[in-house]
Structure 1
């Protein structure tokens, strides 16, 4: 039966598909736009097997996550110890697997960790402490009476903090080295973060995000190995964080391309690929949220979350739809957690390690994106590496050009639901501007569309 079925159908090439599409679209085939990813990366709107290189596709697939599933990790913002404890325990009871605890601008002396972590065993439940405080000091507090093996980590990126504030990172780097030594037997504890969200929230396209994160990773590995840390530990004990935007296919390809590129870095340090296990957090984007029609953010976050898990994230953080303009309500937090639960239990995506494997479009897009990002990464290396590129303004110039293109696209009619199309007839809800413009190290363009309001920065300069 199988032989007869396939013998009745001859293979179809791209020309045959184009002829059929031309017929179905009644002469409007040319209205299909290509996929534009960055300034010089364009892909046809459809691909066939003839455009795929089997060896390269196999190389891309070999670098992807091997174990299916991900952690559902909502953000809980610290206000006071007992309130934050209740919020964390509630989230864990109703769908969350772990917690990202936001301790931004919080002095750890005010955290009262026994109250904050009451009823939460860090040996069983991962908590990622998002803070700019000294990593060793935070660890000493959370490890008191917590057992010998902790999960979670310190979600702190000292280099990103330097870019935001101008405060140099040497002291925090020494703290990371000390923390890596303290936690050397805790394989599920992340000692630092490489925060790619900073670039996304400053207008980067996916190619720029990949190149800049890769350059920062190399910078960290070099700095840490200079202080006696093995490159394998430096790579495996980082938390790589990305924002996921609304371009569904390109965001899937972005995470797959990152794992592929990271394998090239591990090869350069002569690390066994089988032992390199990058741990990726994906967070739905705040950059593209609508304020005039905030409920559309639910739909946008659902699409972004699906991109994240199909791209192979280890940790998924879905931000509540109302978080840009108010403290999230119980309803919005529950909906955000449930997005991940639906993807796990109703889509079966948690049963497949690499759901995108074999898609001609996604395989081609992943490879092309990785190639362009590698070119930009090498250009940054030729200019002296990540820190030199920031000090010279190269990174900022790249981001400003990309951001200007996004603003131009939006102004020329690129559809964003609830932003420039299908806007509700209601008074807009304006976002709070939490950016600190007092530091000359930073620059924020006040003329940006309201949807382009970042949680960190909107543009940066040296």
Structure 2
């Protein structure tokens, strides 16, 4: 009842007051800015004109803390998984490079994870069938992450060829009643520089290709997304994505659900003043959680230039644990629901994403546009716009293009090559190239170090 004692102020009254304070300057030119997605962001939002509720249902209280492990040896990887589970991780993502890895032994030696994600870097129906049989006896949920369309976009080729890959997916669909297996890996779109409308549209089109090609599918789809540094926009992006995916699924089956696995982007990470990466990944994980991700896997602050190490893993895991256990991000469902600004962004991103998705479908679908190079060209155009803003200092990466430390030396600290790798070879399509914003500037600084 407290608010009844105050007079209501309309958005028109706020605008009049702001205009007065501007002393003749234009309201729109001075205070309204436009994002790379073409969304005009206002200086304030009010319930008399910005109260369109998007009714996105999220379940923040159950988000899972995920740790990834590359598997060279099943026994050693299981031991490491149990160690990180004891240290706070709740779920494990195993990256499995080939069919020779004893995945069943890996699963059976785990001690009560919430879920296990098996990212298979190969496509084999028999291997997935064995995992499905084993999963029936396990007490935790198993996700098998296989995505031939992502393989095509990222690598330039399918696992085998288009027809064979989708035949194998249909075989898997007949023998996968105990696992979640259909996966849409949309991380490359963000990491390559696609704007948020494109990310939503391409994810929808990516999903639609599978729903058109996998017969009688009616289960869970895992959607992997990368989360960038535009805090409120990223919250809205995930909400708009779930809203759009649910609308798409209704056209096929009421039993289809979506499990969103989110991870910070690599695009804004840097090798100089690398500790700032911890701040970036913290806000990106916050966006993922508040946007409704079901599971969040953090990116180590030094992942761009260091090999996997215990310290980097521990820091990245503890960032998520602090958000969950000390910041209470797991206590409130739908925290963004009803926030005028986020609701407005959610609606606009969903509408623009749906419009672009329809255009993609009208022109042959995602795979067709990957083959003719349309998707790659559109992402490249968007990435170039963002790169130009970075080069001009309008998009800031602290410690890199703003307040750099000239004493910072990195030439002796690079265990991994942190730049785009050139590997000329014959491919079906031109791959979508993931590239960080700071690469050119960093290369110039490294060259200066060598010549100093």
Which TM-score applies when normalising by structure 2? Answer: 0.86
- Cα distance change on mapping 1:145 and 1:261 into 2, 3 Å: closer
1:157 maps to 147
Q: 1:118: how far off?
A: 5.5
- The residue aligned with 2:318 is 338
Q: Give the conservation status (yes or no) of the 8 Å contact 1:294–1:321.
A: yes
Aligned with 2:76 (options 83, 90, 97): 83
Offset, 1:27: 9.0
**2:7 pairs with 1:10:** yes
Does 2:303 match 1:323?
Answer: yes
Distance 1:21 1:338, change over 3 A: farther
Deviation at 1:18, TM superposition (A): 4.3
Q: Tell me the residue number matched to 1:416.
A: 397
Residues 60 and 289, structure 2, Cα contact 8 Å, conserved in 1: no
Aligned residues of 2:61 and 2:333 also touching (Cα < 8 A): yes
1:190 to 168, 180, 185: 180
Match for residue 250 of structure 1? 233
State the distance in 1 between where 2:77 and 2:71 align: 5
State the 1:277 CA deviation: 2.6
Query: More deviation in 374-383 or 444-453?
Result: 444-453
Secondary structure of the structure 1 residue equivalent to 2:376: helix
Written as runs of structure 1 = structure 2, the 5 A alignment for 1:427-442 is: 427-428=409-410, 431-433=417-419, 435=421, 437-440=423-426, 441-442=429-430
Secondary structure, counterpart of 1:161 in structure 2: helix
Q: Does 1:130 align with 2:119?
A: yes
Q: C-alpha separation between the residues in 2 aligned to 1:420 and 1:396? A: 27
Contact 1:35 1:45 in 2 (8 A): no
CA contact (8 A) 1:292 1:426 kept: yes
Which residue of structure 1 aligns with residue 40 of structure 2? 42
> Residues of 1 paired with 2:243 and 2:290: CA distance?
15
2:60/2:329 contact within 8 Å kept: no
How far apart in 2 are the matches of 1:294 and 1:408? 22
| CA-CA distance at 1:205 after TM superposition | 0.6
Q: Tell me the CA shift for residue 412 of structure 1.
A: 1.4
Contact 2:191 2:435 in 1 (8 A): no
Gapped runs of 5+ residues in structure 1? Answer: 454-462
- Kept in 2: contact 1:287–1:452 (CA 8 A): no
Q: For 1:121 and 1:433, how far apart are their aligned partners in 2?
A: 38
Query: How far is 1:253 from its partner?
Result: 0.5
What is residue 352 of structure 1 aligned with on the other side? 332
Cα pair distance change 1:438/1:71, threshold 3 Å: same
Supply the distance in 1 between the matched residues of 2:63 and 2:441 (Cα, whole angstroms). 28
Question: 1:179 aligned to 2:172?
Answer: yes
Q: CA deviation at 1:383?
A: 0.3
Structure 1 residues 358 and 209: CA distance shift in structure 2, 3 A: same
Per the alignment, residue 446 of structure 2 pairs with: none
Compute the displacement of 1:338 (Å).
1.3
Q: Partners of 1:221 and 1:46 in 2: how far apart?
A: 40
- Equivalent in the alignment of 2:342: 362
**Is the contact between residue 165 and residue 439 of structure 1 (CA under 8 Å) also seen in structure 2?**
no
Q: Please report how far the alpha carbon of residue 419 of structure 1 lies from its aligned counterpart in structure 2 after TM superposition.
A: 2.3
**Higher alpha-carbon deviation: 203-212 or 94-103:** 94-103
Query: Equivalents in 1 of 2:441, 2:293: separation in Å?
Result: 24
Q: CA deviation at 1:281?
A: 0.5
Q: What's 1:403 paired with?
A: 383
> What does 1:278-293 align with in structure 2 at a 5 Å threshold?
278-293=258-273
For structure 2, the 5+ residue unaligned runs are: 443-452
- Note the alpha carbon deviations across 1:64-119, whole angstroms, 9 max, x for none: 2257321111111223333322321111111111111122xx2221x234654462
Contact 1:256 1:311 in 2 (8 A): yes
Shift of 1:173: 2.5
Comparing 5-14 and 216-225, the one that deviates more: 5-14
Q: Secondary structure at the match of 2:48?
A: helix
Distance 2:19 2:319 in 1: 38
Asked whether the equivalents of residues 75 and 319 of structure 1 are also in contact (C-alpha less than 8 Å), the reply is no
CA distance in 2, matches of 1:198, 1:108: 24
Distance 1:141 1:26, change over 3 A: farther
Contact 1:98 / 1:127 at 8 angstroms: preserved in 2? yes
Aligned match of 1:426 in 408, 412, 417? 408
Q: Distance in 1 between matches of 2:84 and 2:175?
A: 29
Q: Tell me how large the CA RMSD over aligned residues is.
A: 2.8
CA displacement, residues 139-196 of structure 1 (integer Å, 9 cap, x when unaligned)? 3554676653562221121111122232333333333323332222x2xx32131011
* Alpha-carbon spacing, 1:393–1:291, altered in 2? closer, same or farther (3 Å): same
1:267-306 map, 5 Å: 267-269=250-252, 271-272=253-254, 275-306=255-286
Q: TM-score, normalised by structure 1?
A: 0.84
CA–CA distance in structure 2, aligned partners of residues 201 and 304 of structure 1: 13
